[in-house]
């Protein structure tokens, strides 16, 4: 099983099974940050073979937002390391280029809907872009084998 993670407060954790079944979990949040305990529970329950996580930067963010975002990303990396799950950092430009996507999040939602019609209802709202991008990151990872 491959896992894709779109980090951040509106991000998600997506799981892509070898038989094509897919599921998406909204990023567990506690207060104003990523809830490492709940992330660990998800990853322990489903135990992916590899995780592909978007490599992000805080360019253009304010100091507080950048700190919170970086802290959340660090929590995710720490959980993966603690659980000894192999992971790969993926630049957004790499996976988006792979799927011929621009920065437009609606394109990601549309592609996720086409590729995963069984869970298309999870990508229908504008705010579901994190879910869509997480499953596309997982799909990108699957195709890197």
- At 98-114, the pLDDT tens digits run 999 998 999 999 999 99
Q: Which domains does the chain have, with CATH numbers?
A: 2-142 (3.30.420.10)
φ/ψ bin of 60: left (φ > 0), alpha (ψ from -120 to 50), beta (otherwise): left
**Main-chain dihedrals φ then ψ at residue 140, nearest 5 degrees:** -55, -50
From 59, 78, 83, select the one nearest 69 (Cα to Cα): 59
pLDDT band at 63 (very low <50, low <70, confident <90, very high): confident
pLDDT value at residue 145: 66
pLDDT band at 66 (very low <50, low <70, confident <90, very high): low
- At 2-15, the pLDDT tens digits run 999 999 889 999 99
Angle between helices 36-46 and 63-82 (to 10 degrees): 40
The whole-angstrom separation of Cα 76 and Cα 85 is: 11
CB 3 within 8 A of CB 12: no
């Amino acid at each position: 099983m491959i896992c894709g993670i779109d980090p951040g407060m509106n991000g998600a954790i997506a799981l892509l099974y070898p038989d094509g079944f897919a599921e998406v979990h909204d990023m567990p949040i506690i207060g104003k940050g990523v809830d490492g305990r709940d992330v660990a529970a998800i990853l322990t329950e489903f135990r992916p073979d590899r995780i592909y996580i978007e490599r992000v930067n805080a360019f253009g963010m304010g100091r507080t937002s950048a700190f919170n975002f970086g802290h959340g990303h660090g929590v995710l990396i720490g959980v993966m390391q603690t659980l000894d799950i192999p992971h790969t950092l993926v630049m957004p430009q790499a996976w988006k280029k792979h799927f011929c996507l621009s920065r437009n999040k609606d394109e990601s939602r549309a592609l996720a809907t086409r590729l995963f019609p069984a869970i298309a209802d999870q990508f229908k709202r504008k705010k579901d872009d994190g879910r869509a991008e997480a499953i596309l990151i997982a799909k990108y990872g699957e195709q890197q084998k």
